[in-house]
């Protein structure tokens, strides 16, 4: 039984995906198949994290009030 548990744990660790995937900065933004200029979607936000002196996008959100953002639950930690 212990052997199965250890093998399962090892398989889970080996197959687990990283929570954050670092990407190179993109120069263009595409919305609905059309190139979008910066600030053309002012109610959209980018949740980012800092790693090694650079910020990386993790999730998006929408401004619903001046200081309130709505995003998916999996995008934030409690």
> Which of 77, 41, 34 lies closest to 59, judged by CA?
77
Q: Is pLDDT above 90 for 72? A: yes
The domain locations on the chain are: 43-77
pLDDT at 71 over 90: yes
The pLDDT value recorded for residue 25 is: 55
Determine the Cα–Cα distance for residues 35 and 26; give it in Å rounded to an integer.
12
Contact yes or no for 35/21 (Cβ under 8 A) = no
Q: What is the pLDDT of residues 24-69, one digit of tens each?
A: 555 566 666 777 777 787 888 889 989 998 999 899 999 998 889 9
How do residues 5-34 score in pLDDT, each as one tens digit?
888 877 777 677 655 555 555 556 666 677
Sign of CA dihedral 3, 17, 54, 62: negative
Rounded distance between C-alpha atoms, residue 47 and residue 75, angstroms:
8
Model confidence, pTM? 0.48
Closest CA to 25 of 46, 54, 50: 54
């Amino acid at each position: 039984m212990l052997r199965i548990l250890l093998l399962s744990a090892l398989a889970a660790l080996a197959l687990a995906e990283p929570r954050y995937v670092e990407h190179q900065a993109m120069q263009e933004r595409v919305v609905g198949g059309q190139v979008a200029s910066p600030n053309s979607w002012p109610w959209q936000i980018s949740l980012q994290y800092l790693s090694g002196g650079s910020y990386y996008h993790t999730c998006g959100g929408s401004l619903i009030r001046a200081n309130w953002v709505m995003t998916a639950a999996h995008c934030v930690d409690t």
